[in-house]
Amino acid sequence: MRIDKWLWAARFFKTRSLATDAVSGGKIKLNGAATKPARDVKAGDRLEIFNGETRWEVVIQALSEKRGPATEARQLYEETAESIAAREAEQMRRKFTQEPAGAIHGRPTKRDRRRLDRFGE
């Protein structure tokens, strides 16, 4: 089974084309190495998935040709203990800290620039 199709079926990406773009862009590593979207995966393979700010490290348990409910998708892989701990730590960090430029979209205004300068002092 193709890696991009498996990522879509396991619900890591909303569309198959997003999964293909992620694999092509180097955001997916198969057994520690970058791969291509057409690469076949099998049970027991280890995947590192970087999706935005979230990072997963999973071991493939089963293959599925079609996308099903989330409960079935979770049975296709097993997340490693280190990955779970790192993801929860990152989630707690984001919960209690605010990114200084998180509310700024596009080019900062004069007011935004003053706030950023004040934060850096």
| Backbone φ and ψ of 78, nearest 5° | -130, 125
pLDDT bracket for residue 61 (50, 70, 90): very high
Predicted local distance difference test score (pLDDT) of residue 8? 94
Report the half-sphere exposure of 45 (CA within 13 A, side-chain side): 23
Predicted local distance difference test score (pLDDT) of residue 51? 85
Neighbours of 72 (CB within 10 A): 15
Least confident of 11-25, 59-73, 95-109: 95-109
Task: Compute the average pLDDT of residues 11-15.
Answer: 93
Q: How much of the chain, in percent, has pLDDT values that exceed 70?
A: 97
Predicted local distance difference test score (pLDDT) of residue 60? 95
Q: Is the pLDDT of residue 4 over 80?
A: yes
pTM: 0.76
- Residue in the structure block whose two tokens are 């706030």: 115
Fold type of domain 3-120: 3.10.290
Predicted local distance difference test score (pLDDT) of residue 104? 67
Q: Is the pLDDT of residue 69 over 80?
A: yes
Q: Rounded to an integer, what distance in angstroms lies between the CA atom of residue 64 and that of residue 72?
A: 9
